[in-house]
Amino acid sequence: MVGGNVRRTRAIVGGRLTLLTAGAIVMIVPFAYMVVTSFKQNALVLEIPPQFIPHHPTTANYHGAWSSNHFSRYFVNSLVVAVCTTVFAVLLSSMMAFAFARFRFPGRRLLFGLLLIGLMVPTMMLLIPQFLLARQLGALDSLWGLVFFYTAMNLALNTFLLRSFFQDIPRELEEAMVVDGAGPWTRYRRLILPLSRPALATVGIFSFLASWDEYVWALTVINDPNRRTLPIAITLFQGQHSTSWGLVFAASLIAIVPVIAIFVAFQRQFVSGITSGALKA
Amino acid sequence: MTVSSSPSSTGSIGRSASARRPISRTLSPRRRKEALAAYLFLAPGFLLFALVILYPIGRAFQISLYHWSIAPGLPSQYIGLTNYSHELHDPIFWRSLVNTGFYMGVTVPAQIVIGLMIAVLLDARMPARAAFRTLFYLPVVTSWVVVSLLFRYLFITDGGLINWVLHDATHVSNHNIDWLGQRWTAMAAIAILGIWKGIGWSMIIFLAALQGVPRELKEAAAVDGANAWRRFRAVSLPAIRPVVAFVTVMLVIGGFNVFISVFLMTNGGPLDETQVLLTYMYRQAFSFLDFGYGSALSFTLTVIVFVLSVTQLRLFRRPSEAS
């Protein structure tokens, strides 16, 4: 009996592993092929049969991508915009979340409801009026303009996630600080923020990646070649007629390796951030 | 200064937030001070949010009622609902609606079923579990721009990996398929990308939900002799029903918002055959500079998404209320 059970359990685990491995291969092959292609000479990227391990691997595409079309400048542009967006978005949304989580004031439900509307409205629906607004504000063709709009686009989700985290912080700690005469700013800075590091990391990562990867808004408002960001730069390697696929994927990998590194390093924050919204709903 | 003025004067903070009191017009000085602090914390973020998100929501509809003049200073002409009646007579609008519907109809069920299957497989003690979870989630964190270009490359007619597998390696097809050059094969390729990129997201939410199902329930069903499938149907699935509803609604919204993959894989071509609502909107607005018609298209999309979301939430709610 017992032996049979063990054997059965083993068979089930084996079956699970087989299915999962098959699925994982499907997920990973396109990535692997992208990496392989990025190390191929351009003449070979559409060769039949394809070389899955290039006979003469070359790093020429990486040198080419990095030095051509001001790619390194676009990398820096993206980095600056993403870092500034992250700082502003985390600061502003944590302040809003603190107000929603810990204060009673007239209009609280209304304002929070408006924030939820912002969470549900498809971003691209607002593209045209936002473009007109950016033009009015003189925010076209400007990296600060990107930071301004990206920060605003991240506020609703960040505030929503942080509010529920702040609500779970025991109030007793805050009461003790009140007794010592601490005002709201002190409590926010010295108590709420230090206790919320994991949640702040989660929304910080989300904000960073959202602006690092953002394509449509940048495509719409940036014309000046000096102010392009990485996603725009990557698509520029893909010409209308002759595409240098090796360059495209070398550039792509330069852009996504930091993302994957962040993801692997902060997996727990990722998962908690993604699931907390869903499981609370 | 207290965090929240509780009616009782014991000094406990905000415990009574849920205990509703009739709204009094005049706030006590303490509550007024508290409200002031809250508004100060809210002000910078909320003003930015109102300017960049809320104000454009109102503007989106307004612009759709005009023959919008894009030159600043020139007056725009109010034309009522003409942009909307134009939609009804625009064959490309209808085609892009059908294409969007096709994309949604294929990708949403696939992401739910496959995502749920992987989640169930992963919901057990097993080796390399974390590694599998990471691998399946990898496409989700990769930018749409990169994966769209990657799939465009994989689906190239002569020399693409997909055609090599189907034609040269396995002879499933006797010729190289012109994937991105025809309407339905192109839509299929775009949908395959959507599924591949999306299943990690639904998987990770389903997995978290399944782990929240009490173990005792599953074990009790096992003791009663229910097999794995019956245990799943009778115990796990009902328990995660609200999460399935949430994922479905989010995926439908996401499906209707498909843009970058189409934009970069076919750009709506050939001859507008593969336009979806948002690529068509983008072309009208930023290639033809018809902001009025573009706004009408995006407002139509928003109404469709809103109606679908509300309908789905109703559908999902009813059976559990009846039981």
Question: ∠ CA(B179), CA(B183), CA(B187), 5° rounding?
Answer: 70
Instruction: List A residues 154-183 in contact with B (Cβ-Cβ < 8 A).
Output: 155-156, 159, 171, 174-175, 178, 183
Tokens coding A31:
């990535």
A206 touches chain B (CB under 8 A): no
User: Which of B4, B124, B164 lies closest to A102 in CB terms?
Assistant: B4
CA-to-CA separations, A73 to A85, A144, B13, in angstroms, rounded: 18, 16, 51
pLDDT of residue B273: 93
**Interchain CB distance below 8 Å, B52 and A279:** no
pLDDT of residue A279: 65
Name the pTM for this structure: 0.87
**Interchain CB distance below 8 Å, B52 and A128:** no
**Mutation site, B2, B136, B145, interface A, largest A CB count within 10 A:** B145
**Interchain CB distance below 8 Å, B257 and A124:** yes
**Interchain CB distance below 8 Å, A259 and B142:** yes
The residues near A279 (Cβ < 8 Å, ≥ 6 apart) are B205, B208, B209, B212, B243
What would the pLDDT profile of B104-143 be if each residue is shown by its tens digit? 999 999 999 999 999 999 988 788 888 898 899 999 989 9
**Interchain CB distance below 8 Å, B127 and A216:** no
A106 touches chain B (CB under 8 A): yes
Question: What residue type is A41 in one-letter code?
Answer: Q
- DSSP string covering A133-187: HHHHHT-TT-HHHHHHHHHHHHHHHHHHHHHHHHHTS-HHHHHHHHHTT--HHHH
In the predicted model, is pLDDT for residue B180 greater than 80? yes
Q: How far is B229 from B235, CA to CA, in rounded Å?
A: 10
The mean pLDDT value for B293-315 works out to: 89
B193-228 as b/e, with b when 16 or more CB fall inside 10 Å? bbbbbbbbbbbbbbbbbbeebeeeebeebeeeebee
Q: Which residues of B touch A34 (CB under 8 A)?
A: 150, 153
Q: How far is B50 from A36, CA to CA, in rounded Å?
A: 46
Q: Which residues of A touch B160 (CB under 8 A)?
A: 46
**Interchain CB distance below 8 Å, B143 and A153:** no
In the predicted model, is pLDDT for residue B292 greater than 80? yes
Tokens coding B27:
């706030």
Task: List the one residue out of A185, A17, A121, A229 whose CA is nearest residue B3.
Answer: A185
Tokens coding B45:
């973020």
Question: What residue type is A79 in one-letter code?
Answer: L
In the predicted model, is pLDDT for residue B20 greater than 60? no
Instruction: Provide the pairing of β-strand B66-67 with B77-78.
Output: antiparallel
CA atoms within 13 A of residue B196's CA, in its CB half-sphere? 23
Tokens coding A82:
């993403």
ipTM, interface predicted TM-score of the complex = 0.89
Q: How far is A95 from A113, CA to CA, in rounded Å?
A: 17
Under the banding of pLDDT at 50, 70 and 90, the label for residue B25 is low
Q: Which residues of B touch A263 (CB under 8 A)?
A: 134, 137-138, 141
pLDDT of residue B96: 95
Question: ∠ CA(A133), CA(A139), CA(A144), 5° rounding?
Answer: 135
Provide the 3-class DSSP secondary structure of residue B80: coil
Tokens coding B249:
């609604």
The mean pLDDT value for B197-220 works out to: 88
pLDDT of residue A277: 64
pLDDT of residue B128: 84
By C-alpha distance, the chain A residue nearest B146 is A252
Q: Which residues of A touch B196 (CB under 8 A)?
A: 26-27, 30
Q: How far is B272 from B279, CA to CA, in rounded Å?
A: 10
DSSP state letter for B32? H
**Mutation site, B8, B20, B34, B41, interface A, largest A CB count within 10 A:** B41
Task: List the one residue out of B301, B66, B54 whose CA is nearest residue A133.
Answer: B54
**Mutation site, A48, A123, A128, interface B, largest B CB count within 10 A:** A128
Question: ∠ CA(A181), CA(A184), CA(A190), 5° rounding?
Answer: 85
CA-to-CA separations, B271 to B156, B274, B280, in angstroms, rounded: 18, 8, 12
What would the pLDDT profile of A134-172 be if each residue is shown by its tens digit? 999 999 999 999 999 999 999 999 999 999 899 988 888
The mean pLDDT value for B84-107 works out to: 94
A34 touches chain B (CB under 8 A): yes
DSSP state letter for B24? P
Å from A66 to nearest chain B CA? 16
**Interchain CB distance below 8 Å, B41 and A45:** no
What would the pLDDT profile of B230-264 be if each residue is shown by its tens digit? 888 888 888 888 899 889 988 998 999 999 999 99
What would the pLDDT profile of B32-90 be if each residue is shown by its tens digit? 888 999 999 999 999 999 999 999 988 988 999 988 887 777 788 888 888 898 889 99
Q: What is chain B's mean pLDDT, rounded?
A: 85
Q: Which helix (H) or strand (E) holds A11?
A: helix A2-38
Tokens coding B44:
């910078």
pLDDT of residue A10: 78
A110 touches chain B (CB under 8 A): no
How many of the other CB atoms lie within 10 Å of CB of B136?
Answer: 26
What would the pLDDT profile of A53-97 be if each residue is shown by its tens digit? 877 788 888 988 888 768 889 999 999 999 999 999 999 999 999
By C-alpha distance, the chain B residue nearest A100 is B38
pLDDT of residue A3: 58
Bond into B270 cis (ω within 30)? yes
The mean pLDDT value for B147-170 works out to: 89
Q: Which helix (H) or strand (E) holds B78?
A: strand B77-78
Q: Which residues of B touch A26 (CB under 8 A)?
A: 196
Q: Any idea how long chain B is? A: 323
Spans of chain A, pLDDT less than 70: 1-4, 69, 239-242, 277-281
Question: What residue type is B65 in one-letter code?
Answer: L
Instruction: List A residues 56-75 in contact with B (Cβ-Cβ < 8 A).
Output: none
Under the banding of pLDDT at 50, 70 and 90, the label for residue B23 is low
Q: What is the largest CA-CA distance in chain B?
A: 83
Higher-confidence position of B14 and B301: B301
Q: How many A×B Cβ pairs under 8 Å?
A: 291
Q: Are A148 and A217 a contacting pair, CB within 8 Å?
A: no
Q: Which residues of A touch B167 (CB under 8 A)?
A: none
- DSSP string covering A43-109: GGTT-SS--SS-SS---HHHHHHHHGGGHHHHHHHHHHHHHHHHHHHHHHHHHHHHHHHH---TTHH
Question: What residue type is A214 in one-letter code?
Answer: E
